[in-house]
Amino acid sequence: MFEALLFDLDGTLLNIDMDYFLPRYFSSMQAMAYSMGYKEAERLVQKIWFSTEKMIANTDAEKTNEEVFYEEFFQDWPYPAEEFLSFFDTFYEEEFPRLSKYCQPFPGVPQMMENLFGRDLKIVIATNSVFPLTAIEKRLEWAGVGHFDYDLITAYENMHYCKPQPAYYEEICDQIGVKPHNCLMVGNDTGEDLIAGQVGLKTFLVKNMLIDKGAPLKPDWQGELEHLFKFLKKI
């Protein structure tokens, strides 16, 4: 029925409330910047939000999301790029793992993934590509599914588009070499995940941690995680 399965991460594979998590994420990063003597630390969160918005809006296929982010971020930023890139690396290596206490794995998800990897399917982690790969790999570990050999994990280093752009899903299909109509996108966000249907992917809306901001999009299938588990066993 399908050649490839695409999974959103946050709220789909990992029990995490991003509205709760992100303020603690930024607070941790800002605290580390202050501790390292960066006097502009109070502007850090604002700079990251603004640069992320530019990255999400970008449609230049010649630039990775990472390139767009840092082009914007280092405008009007008083610290050298090489120095502050090292700061980000240190944060994700040392401080980001401490944030695992703000989320937990969904029961049954690791077993689901184990079953899928025993079948002839391509498996993609189609989380919004606004984070570096290391931050996504850490969250996969928190979900109990970090040890699998995925065909693709979308991150800002390897993608040129973000959700909710339809081109994000087209790029995934191009990278894994599977036609959109042979792919299933599984996610919990009606606006960001169901948009995949506009380029031909089938969609399954997971309702455990539903994010619905009123996007007029309908999934091909929907249900709680337990329904997803049963559905995937049948395909």
Nearest to 180 by CA among 165, 191, 167: 167
Claim to verify: residue 215 and residue 120 sit in the same structural domain: yes
Claim to verify: residue 23 and residue 12 sit in the same structural domain: no
Evaluate if residue 147 carries a pLDDT over 90.
Answer: yes
Tens-place pLDDT, residues 215-225: 899 999 999 99
Tens-place pLDDT, residues 128-145: 999 999 999 999 999 999
Claim to verify: residue 220 and residue 117 sit in the same structural domain: yes
Task: Please tell me the total count of domains within the chain.
Answer: 2
Evaluate if residue 62 carries a pLDDT over 90.
Answer: yes
Claim to verify: residue 63 and residue 153 sit in the same structural domain: no
Question: Region 112-139: what's the mean pLDDT?
Answer: 97
Claim to verify: residue 115 and residue 194 sit in the same structural domain: yes
Claim to verify: residue 52 and residue 94 sit in the same structural domain: yes
- Specify the 3-state DSSP secondary structure of 10: strand
Claim to verify: residue 136 and residue 212 sit in the same structural domain: yes
Name the token pair of 104: 């937990």
State the residue range of the domain holding 120: 4-16+104-234
Predicted pLDDT at 1: 85
The CB density around residue 120, as the number of other CB atoms within 10 Å, is 5
The rounded distance, in Å, linking the Cα atoms of 167 and 57 is: 12
Claim to verify: residue 135 and residue 114 sit in the same structural domain: yes
Percentage above 70 pLDDT, the chain: 100
Claim to verify: residue 91 and residue 25 sit in the same structural domain: yes
pTM for this one? Answer: 0.97
Contact 12, 188 (CB under 8 A): yes
Q: Where are the alpha helices (DSSP H) in 128-202?
A: 133-142, 166-176
Question: Region 159-174: what's the mean pLDDT?
Answer: 98
Kind plus residue range of the DSSP H or E element containing 56: helix 41-57
Claim to verify: residue 96 and residue 115 sit in the same structural domain: no
